[in-house]
């Protein structure tokens, strides 16, 4: 009996395992040059959150990872809910003061899209020069909220615990 069929079958199995795409291609990690999340605290309850994907990242994965980071930030600061903002200090709670020079329809505001892809070039230094890679990112401000009833538009409030439960299904957990 020849060993060739077994050898070919073994080679095919190994190749399929190595070339198969991972179940969840996105890594939920702090940004370290390729992919991951970053945040900037703007106020005690407002954060600018960004999640950088790779060229293989889908819109659904990117949105889920961005929301997961927002949820982890708010829960860490003892806020069970969050609201994605259209711009940094968008008034979203009933007690928020209107911003100077921003009309009630927000016509004078400069909104930052908090949905969809924004392609950001990543410049990777190499010994023979730099390499530029365009990859999708999602970035925007969030407002952490303690009471959803305090929101001007309760339909915009997102429950952090639900987002975190969905993230655990992907194997995403908050970094220590």
* Structural domains in the chain (count): 1
Its domain, for residue 122, covers: 7-170
> Hey, what's the torsion of the CAs at 44, 90, 173, 76, to 10 degrees?
20
69 or 1: which leads in pLDDT: 69
Is residue 127 domain-resident?
A: yes
Q: Please state which of the ranges 18-22, 52-56, 109-113, 133-137 shows the lowest mean pLDDT.
A: 18-22
SS3 state at 168: helix
Q: 61 lies in a domain?
A: yes
In 3D, which of 33, 61, 65 has the Cα closest to residue 51? 65
Is 175 within a domain?
no
Strand segments (E) across the chain:
36-43, 46-52, 81-84, 118-126, 129-145, 158-159
Rounded-to-integer distance, Cα 84 and Cα 93, Å = 12
pTM, whole model, 2 decimals? 0.71
């Amino acid at each position: 009996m020849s060993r060739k069929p077994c050898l070919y079958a073994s080679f095919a199995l190994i190749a399929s395992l190595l070339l198969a795409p991972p179940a969840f291609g996105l890594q939920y990690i702090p940004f370290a040059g390729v992919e991951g999340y970053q945040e900037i605290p703007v106020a005690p309850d407002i954060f600018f959150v960004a999640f950088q994907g790779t060229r293989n990242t889908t819109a659904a994965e990117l949105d889920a990872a961005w929301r997961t980071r927002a949820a982890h930030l708010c829960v860490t600061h003892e806020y069970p809910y969050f609201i994605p903002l259209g711009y940094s200090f968008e008034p979203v709670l009933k007690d928020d003061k209107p911003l100077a020079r921003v009309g009630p329809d927000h016509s004078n505001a400069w909104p930052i899209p908090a949905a969809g892809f924004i392609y950001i070039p990543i410049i990777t230094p190499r010994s023979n020069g730099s390499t530029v890679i365009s990859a999708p990112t999602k970035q925007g401000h969030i407002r952490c909220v303690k009471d959803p009833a305090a929101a001007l538009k309760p339909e915009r409030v997102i429950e952090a615990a639900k987002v975190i439960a969905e993230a655990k299904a992907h194997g995403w957990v908050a970094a220590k």
